[in-house]
Amino acid sequence: MDPIAVKQLLEQKLDVYYNDAFIADDPLQIPHRFNQKEDVEISALLTATIAWGQRITIIKNAKNMMSLMDDAPHDFILNHKSSDLAVMDRFVHRTFNAADLKFFITGLKHIYTQHGGLENVFNTFGAEPFLHKSIHHFRECMFEVPHQKRSEKHISNPLNKSAAKRLHMFLRWMVRRCNRGVDFGLWTSIKPSQLSCPLDVHTGNVARRLGLIKRKANDIGALNELDQALRQYDKDDPVKYDFALFGLGVSHDFH
C-alpha cells in the first residue's frame, strides 16, 4: 500500500477503535477505577507490567493486585510494613509471582520517597526525543532496592535492544492527552511526540503488512522503524495510531 492509502486506513480505523468502548475489554480499565494521580499511575504501571497473555486474565489478576493493596495502591505502597506483604504470597500471573510483586511494591515506595515519584523519574531525560533513556533510568531506580535477580526480567531495557512494549504502553496511558475517555494525559512534563508505539505481535504483524516496518523481530530496531513511520503521519501525536494497529490485529479486520 502506498503511504497515503496507509494513512487513510489508519485514520479510518482510529475512529473505529479509539473511544471509551475500547476500555471495556482492555486492561486500561484498571487505572480508570481511580481518581488520585498516584493511584492511577501506580495501578497503571502494575497492570502494564503483567499485560501479556489473555486480556481477560490480565484484567482479573490486575484487579486482584489492587484488592491485595486494599484498592488504595499509593497509600499501601507508602505506608505498608513488611508484615503487610505476606498477603501477596498467593499472587501469581504467569511468570510474575509474589516475590516480583513484593519487589515492585518496595521499589515503588523507594521511587516515591527518594526520587520524587514516577513522573519525576521518567522525566529525568525529558529533553530526549524518545523515552528509552527514561525507561532505563526507571529500571536503575527500581533496582536500587534489594531484589531477586529473577525480577529484573519484568522491567524491559530498551538500551539492551528490547522494544519494552509494556512500559511504552504505560507511558502512552500517562502522557497522551485524550478527549475520548481512554488515555489519561496526567503527565504534562513529557510530550506525546516523545512516545513510542507499544510494539507487540499484533501491532508488529499489521505494521509489516502495511509496509511500516521491515525488520522481522519485534525489537528496538523494529520499534525505531515504526516510530519513524508514524511520525510521518503525525509528528505531535504519533502513538495515537496504536489503537488502529492493535485493533486491526486483534479483530483481524484487515483486508
pTM for the full predicted model: 0.95
Per-residue pLDDT reduced to its tens digit, 102-131:
999 999 999 999 999 999 999 999 889 999
- The SS3 call for residue 215 is coil
Length of the chain: 255
Please determine, for residue 87, whether its predicted confidence score (pLDDT) is greater than 80: yes
* Mean pLDDT of the residues in the chain: 94
Per-residue pLDDT reduced to its tens digit, 147-200:
999 999 999 999 999 999 999 999 999 999 887 779 999 999 999 999 999 999
Per-residue pLDDT reduced to its tens digit, 56-73:
999 999 999 999 999 999
In this predicted structure, what is the pLDDT of residue 254?
58
What one-character DSSP code corresponds to residue 92?
E
- The SS3 call for residue 93 is strand
CA distance 161 to 104: 23
- The SS3 call for residue 94 is coil
In this predicted structure, what is the pLDDT of residue 16?
87
CA distance 123 to 134: 7
CA distance 174 to 135: 14
In this predicted structure, what is the pLDDT of residue 179?
79
Q: How many CA atoms lie within 13 A of 37 on its CB side?
A: 10
Per the rule left: phi > 0, alpha: psi between -120 and 50, beta: everything else, 173 is alpha
When pLDDT is averaged across residues 205-229 and rounded to a whole number, the result is 96
DSSP bridge partners of 92: 97
Per-residue pLDDT reduced to its tens digit, 14-50:
988 887 777 788 899 999 999 999 999 999 999 999 9
